[in-house]
Amino acid sequence: MTDQSVRLTVAQAIVRYLDNQFIVIDGEEHRLCGGGFGIFGHGNVTCLGEALYNHRATLPLYRGQNEQGMGFAAAGYAKQWLRQRFMFCTASAGPGTANLLTSAALAHANRLPVLMLCGDAYTTRLPDPVLQQLEHFGNPSFGVNDAFKAVSRYWDRITHPAQILQSLPAALATMLDPADCGPAFIGLPQDVQGWAYDYPQAFFAKRVHRIRRQAPDADEIAEALARLKSAERPVIIAGGGVQYSGAVAELTAFAEATGIPVVETIAGRANMKADHPLNIGPIGVTGSDGANAIAERADLILAVGTRLQDFTTGSWTAFAQDAQLIGINVGRHDAAKHLAMTVVGDAKCALTAMMSDYRAPGPWKAFAQAERQKWDAYVAENVAPGNRPNSYAQAIGVINALCDPRDRVVAAAGGLPAEVTANWRTLDIGTVDVEFGFSCMGYEIAGGWGARIAQAQREPDQDTIVLTGDGSYLLMNSDIYSSVLTGMKLIILVLDNGGFAVINKLQTNTGNESFNNLIADTPTAIQPFAVDFEAHAAAMGATAETVANPAELGEAFKRAKASDKTYVICMKVDAYEGWTDQGHTWWEVGTPHITTSDKIHKAHEEVEAARPKQRKGV
């Protein structure tokens, strides 16, 4: 060690480096890493645990209950901070790390920064084979951690202390890159974590980061403007990238200046308030009749900050075959989909550069707004309580009417994301997190916990409202305890429809018999019974109650708002009735080409009848 170096273990150096990274957000300096989520085991407790203990005041470590939930929480945190801050997850070698695979995939699909610091097998191999180590006879260095190569934007295994001098800055550069953003995985062998090295002091100097804002190419802007000026029926598809770019104001200004109607993807669901006259609603499989009507008639589609997932494009049936597509995206891969004319660059810069004297024809704008009015009327009826079975839509309507405009609503895979996307009326910008990038059940409560940690740092007086079904609840619920343990209040609405009802709907809609999705139709369920979700949540420390109908839900929600701790409200909803039955585009689902069932054969023919509308990539 010299005056210009400091001797540290690998684990100590990693933590000290993270502790000295900062970012400027809206003129205010924040620590780039907000802390981490950790479950200790023999693969990370002795060395990384020692290092984290000594930085616990500035890099708080939240104790997870399940590694997958930790990854979901880190993703929810990153979303709330619009990818400008991240949290790390640390897991032990073996099953602890393996449990992070699903959440790494979620972060990858959603382009979210999450840093995974995971235990690994001994580099020396002297004690091999060790506890929880996989043995590949012909490849001794191959193990569980290699599986993360498929779900990470950056992957490295530290086999020498000097490696982190290159690896850590590269991981952070990836997580902060607007185009390449995603999870970074760093494997930390148990022996290497504790090895000491003389690190240069300069490596630990305070560094303030800024996220790059890539300007679009002038020629691409010129070509996009030329195509726009010849358009008679243009539409803007606004994705989640609009918010990550900080381009909400520019999107609104561009739409207002040009009169072009805007439709939203699931990830872009809160780019505009519901009452903006140019917000025509959500598009696609979980969309609205209005948005899909104008998408089908559009001759030019400006896809801004979206990866054009099949739920957005209706498996590429939502648009006319001859409609022109312009992809405005900081990621070249997303901008160029389906042979789109590309504008590769930051959405804020691109929309500003595209301001011109173009005005969409008045009749086109009027048509779009009339379609939105019809959809608003449908939603108003759909969410209204009445003399009918309880439904997701009714519950959504109650919460939507009573929540604060800045409260954040969180939902994920199952029936609820579709119902939230279709029926939720956005009260303020950036307040909706519907996880559909990886369509991952179990995200809701854990992701809500992570979002609440971030929300407490930004808007502590607001609530995070989690909407989950009984299926997702049973899959992952232990972060109710995490929220109670950490004082991060959640309001959780558990809507019990007796199983995986939305997949049962897909099953029966394609001619199949109800089988193994609803508890009542599970052939191996000898004594089907309903879970007491209220008692279960209360056992984890939450305040909980069960309500019978939307009216009681409204009163319970008021009590939840007034509470200072996590509050769980349970209500049964019908598995068959009350689904939003309008607005859906075609969605390609594999159905049997041959079958002995007349019902399945008929459903297959109905599915295939829409296939001629599908764009073939041109």
CATH 3.40.50.970 fits 5-209, yes or no: yes
d(CA 294, CA 322): 14
Per-residue pLDDT, 524: 93
pLDDT 10s digits, 265-274: 999 999 999 9
pLDDT at 74 over 70: yes
Q: Of 480, 500, 477, 505, which Cα lies nearest the Cα of 490? A: 480
pLDDT (0 to 100) of residue 343: 98
- The 10s digit of each residue's pLDDT in 83-136 is 999 999 999 999 999 999 999 999 999 999 999 999 999 999 999 998 888 889
Residue with tokens 């609803």: 518
pLDDT of 351 > 90? The answer is yes
**One-letter amino acid of 200:** P
The CA distance from 515 to 509, in Å, is: 13
Where do the DSSP E strands lie in 330-478? 341-344, 408-411, 432-434, 464-469
pTM of the entire predicted model: 0.97
Question: CB–CB of 6/201 below 8 Å?
Answer: yes
Residues of the chain within CATH 3.40.50.1220 domain(s) are 218-375
Single-letter amino acid, residue 8: L
Q: What is the percent of the chain with per-residue pLDDT over 90, rounded to a whole number?
A: 95
From its phi and psi, is residue 557 left (phi > 0), alpha (psi between -120 and 50) or beta?
alpha
Asked if residue 290 has pLDDT above 80, the reply is yes
CATH architecture of 386-572: 3-Layer(aba) Sandwich (3.40)
Residue 413: which pLDDT band, with cuts at 50, 70 and 90? Answer: confident
Residue 618 has pLDDT above 60, yes or no: no
Tell me which residue of 163, 172, 247 sits closest to 208, measured CA to CA: 172
- Assess whether pLDDT exceeds 70 at residue 617: no
Cα–Cα distance measured from residue 74 to residue 193, given in angstroms and rounded to the nearest whole number = 23
d(CA 72, CA 103): 6
The span from the CA of 519 to the CA of 496, in Å, is 11
What gap in Å lies between CA 313 and CA 295, rounded to an integer?
A: 9
Give the CA angle between residues 25, 29, 33 to the nearest 5°: 85
- Tell me the average pLDDT across 30-52: 97
The DSSP secondary structure of 256-320, one letter per residue, reads HHHT--EEE-STTTTSS-TT-TTEEEE-STT--HHHHHHHHH-SEEEEES----HHHHTTTTSS-
| Chain region(s) in the chain for CATH 3.40.50.970 | 5-209, 386-572
CA distance 455 to 480: 17
pLDDT tens digits for range 173-220: 999 999 999 999 999 999 999 999 999 999 999 999 999 999 999 999
Q: Which pLDDT does position 386 carry in this prediction?
A: 85
Q: Which distant-in-sequence residues (6+ apart) come within 8 Å of 555 by Cβ?
A: 547
CA angle, 426 as apex, 421 and 428 as ends, to 5°? Answer: 140
Instruction: Classify residue 612 by burial, with Cβ atoms within 10 Å: 0-12, 13-18, 19+.
Output: exposed
Q: Quick one: what percent of the chain has pLDDT higher than 70?
A: 100
3-state SS class at 590: coil
For 457-494, write each residue's pLDDT tens digit.
999 999 999 999 999 999 999 999 999 999 999 999 99
- Give domain 218-375's CATH number out of 3.30.360.10, 3.40.50.10490, 3.40.50.1220, 3.40.605.10: 3.40.50.1220
Give the pLDDT score at 504. Answer: 94
pLDDT of residue 360: 97
Residue-level pLDDT at 47: 97
Q: What is the mean pLDDT of the chain?
A: 96
d(CA 94, CA 30): 34
Greater pLDDT, 135 or 396: 396
Contact 153, 181 (CB under 8 A): yes
- Check whether 37 has a pLDDT greater than 90: yes
